[in-house]
């Protein structure tokens, strides 16, 4: 248990070992944390639990440090298993304890755990008096699940924001001013890009709503990673930027290649872009972490994708990254396709269709080359990149 301020304590778990999260869907190079919080007042409130594999140690620690019978109520800000996974084990020990959550939260807890516990459904503005502090609830639907909410500890003035403003980032430290700022913001933007991008419209509206409340926020404590105590609103303003169809005016060239021809095209297209002043990064998607690539896509204005043709289709690594891009529905991005082929040559058309289906504005007809491009072909690729640069 670590004291954050006044009566607010961190009772979470640091997971140094996890390298893939959400099944295999999200890479966690720097581990993660599952942050649970305890408000020790006249009443004691537990806000969120930790991921299922850690349930025994989590509950044992609570028993030793506070006594489970002394927990007056449990707040479930979000029912996903990394936060509510230890609830069933905890509720076996204290089954009558009231659970505060949204209407969707109660439905989802029942669907997950098949139990009808003592639910207290709350809406935005509802509150619970703990003594010196009051918990004020703010529904956050689709940030990032329908059940999501945040809890403001009025008195201590700590916003327990759940997934919002979090990062998959294990550290020996708790606070934002104690860690490497590059690592912290890399993990924060990766989290936003890979998880929150499809909900940017809701994020913009909710941030405005919360800022308009003029809450005296002194600390923002999310459910993953580092707690924002130094200038806590800096991450809220970052989210405002990221939620506003963000890009940095740069380009990313994503490709996979069978025998190197598509790679030569990728590098020449990138040269054409770069020579015209567009900052450009080039990645072989077959060799890169896909969540890191999505972060690069998020930061880019231009998304140029290439693949060899294989069996009338595209290489599976390229198909996978395009599937993720489609799901995230980025806004305010332009794109184009390229690729080499031997005889049928469908890859460029397939990529263009997928980019269009992802909401990316395909601003030029794609370029394809049969077998291995010669110097003159590669000059055409450079010209293609230069022409693309004019569209930025």
Residue 224 near residue 166 (C-beta atoms within 8 A): yes
Quote the longest CA-to-CA distance of the chain. Answer: 78
What H or E segment, with its residue span, contains residue 340?
A: strand 334-341
Annotated active-site residue 163? The verdict is yes
- Of 84 and 369, the one with the shorter C-beta distance to ligand FEO is 84
Q: Using DSSP, how many helices (H) and how many strands (E) does the chain show?
A: 12, 24
Round to the nearest angstrom and report the end-to-end CA distance of the chain: 51
Rounded Cα distance between 11 and 101, Å, is: 19
- Of 66 and 207, the one with the shorter C-beta distance to ligand FEO is 207
Annotated active-site residue 112? The verdict is no
Q: What interhelical angle do 290-299 and 181-191 show, nearest 10?
A: 90
Task: Tally Cβ neighbours within 10 Å of residue 228.
Answer: 26
Residue 176 near residue 229 (C-beta atoms within 8 A): yes
Least Cβ distance, residue 114 to ligand FEO (angstroms): 20
- Of 105 and 302, the one with the shorter C-beta distance to ligand FEO is 105
Catalytic residue among 15, 82, 352, 382: 82
Rounded Cα distance between 380 and 373, Å, is: 10
Annotated active-site residue 372? The verdict is no
- Of 149 and 280, the one with the shorter C-beta distance to ligand FEO is 149
Task: Tally Cβ neighbours within 10 Å of residue 372.
Answer: 11
Least Cβ distance, residue 12 to ligand FEO (angstroms): 12
Residue ranges in the chain assigned as alpha helix (H):
55-65, 81-84, 87-93, 103-113, 181-191, 200-212, 233-242, 261-275, 290-299, 316-328, 347-357, 375-389
Least Cβ distance, residue 83 to ligand FEO (angstroms): 6
Residue 243 near residue 200 (C-beta atoms within 8 A): yes
Catalytic residue among 191, 239, 255, 341: 191
Chain-centroid distance, C-alpha 294: 10
Rounded Cα distance between 117 and 82, Å, is: 20
Rounded Cα distance between 254 and 269, Å, is: 11
Least Cβ distance, residue 78 to ligand FEO (angstroms): 5
* Footprint on this chain of ligand FEO (rule: CB under 6 A): 78, 80, 82-83, 144-145, 163, 223-224
Cis peptide before 223 (omega within 30 of 0): no
Annotated active-site residue 55? The verdict is no
- Of 81 and 178, the one with the shorter C-beta distance to ligand FEO is 81
Catalytic residue among 34, 37, 224, 255: 224
Annotated active-site residue 83? The verdict is no
- Of 83 and 354, the one with the shorter C-beta distance to ligand FEO is 83
- Residue sitting closest to ligand FEO (CB): 80
Least Cβ distance, residue 21 to ligand FEO (angstroms): 8
Least Cβ distance, residue 216 to ligand FEO (angstroms): 26
> Distances in Å between the alpha carbon of 3 and those of 55, 133, 139, 174, 225?
21, 15, 26, 10, 16
Beta bridge partners of 13: 34
Per the listing, tokens 């607010």 go with 8
Least Cβ distance, residue 199 to ligand FEO (angstroms): 11
Least Cβ distance, residue 145 to ligand FEO (angstroms): 6
Per the listing, tokens 């924060």 go with 188
- Of 79 and 133, the one with the shorter C-beta distance to ligand FEO is 79
- Of 32 and 317, the one with the shorter C-beta distance to ligand FEO is 32
Annotated active-site residue 168? The verdict is no
Positions annotated as catalytic residues are 22, 78, 80, 82, 144, 163, 191, 224
């Amino acid at each position: 248990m670590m004291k954050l301020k006044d009566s607010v304590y961190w009772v979470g778990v640091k997971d140094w070992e996890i390298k893939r999260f959400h099944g295999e869907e999200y890479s966690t190079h720097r581990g993660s944390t599952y942050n649970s919080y305890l408000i020790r007042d006249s009443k004691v409130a537990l806000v969120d639990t930790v991921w299922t594999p850690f349930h025994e140690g989590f509950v044992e620690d609570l028993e030793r440090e506070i006594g489970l019978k002394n927990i007056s109520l449990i707040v479930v800000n979000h029912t996903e298993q990394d936060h509510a996974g230890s609830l069933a084990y905890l509720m076996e020990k204290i089954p009558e304890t009231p659970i505060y959550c949204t209407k969707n939260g109660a439905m989802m807890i029942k669907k997950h755990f098949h139990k009808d516990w003592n639910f207290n459904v709350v809406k935005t503005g509802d509150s619970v008096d703990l003594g010196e502090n009051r918990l004020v609830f703010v529904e956050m639907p689709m940030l990032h699940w329908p059940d999501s909410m945040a809890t403001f500890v009025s008195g201590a003035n700590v916003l327990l924001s759940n997934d919002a403003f979090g990062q998959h980032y294990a550290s020996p430290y708790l606070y934002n001013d104690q860690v490497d700022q590059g690592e912290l913001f890399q993990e924060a933007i990766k989290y936003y890009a890979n998880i929150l991008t499809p909900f940017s419209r809701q994020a913009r509206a909710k941030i405005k709503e919360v800022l308009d409340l003029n809450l005296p926020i002194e600390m923002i404590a999310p459910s993953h990673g580092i707690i924002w105590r130094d200038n806590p609103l800096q991450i809220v303003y970052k989210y405002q930027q990221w939620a506003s169809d963000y890009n940095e005016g740069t380009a990313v060239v994503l490709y996979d290649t069978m025998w190197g021809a598509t790679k030569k095209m990728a590098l020449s297209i990138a040269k054409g872009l770069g020579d015209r002043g567009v900052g450009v990064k080039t990645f072989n998607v077959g060799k890169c972490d896909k969540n890191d690539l999505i972060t690069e896509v998020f930061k880019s204005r231009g998304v140029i994708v290439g693949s060899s043709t294989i069996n009338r289709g595209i290489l599976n690594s390229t198909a996978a990254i395009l599937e993720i891009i489609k799901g995230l529905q980025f806004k305010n991005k332009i794109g184009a396709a390229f690729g080499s082929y031997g005889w049928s040559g469908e890859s460029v058309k397939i990529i263009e269709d997928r980019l269009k289906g992802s909401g990316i504005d395909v601003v030029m007809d794609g370029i394809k080359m049969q077998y291995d491009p010669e110097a003159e072909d590669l000059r055409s690729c450079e010209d293609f990149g230069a022409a693309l640069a004019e569209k930025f």
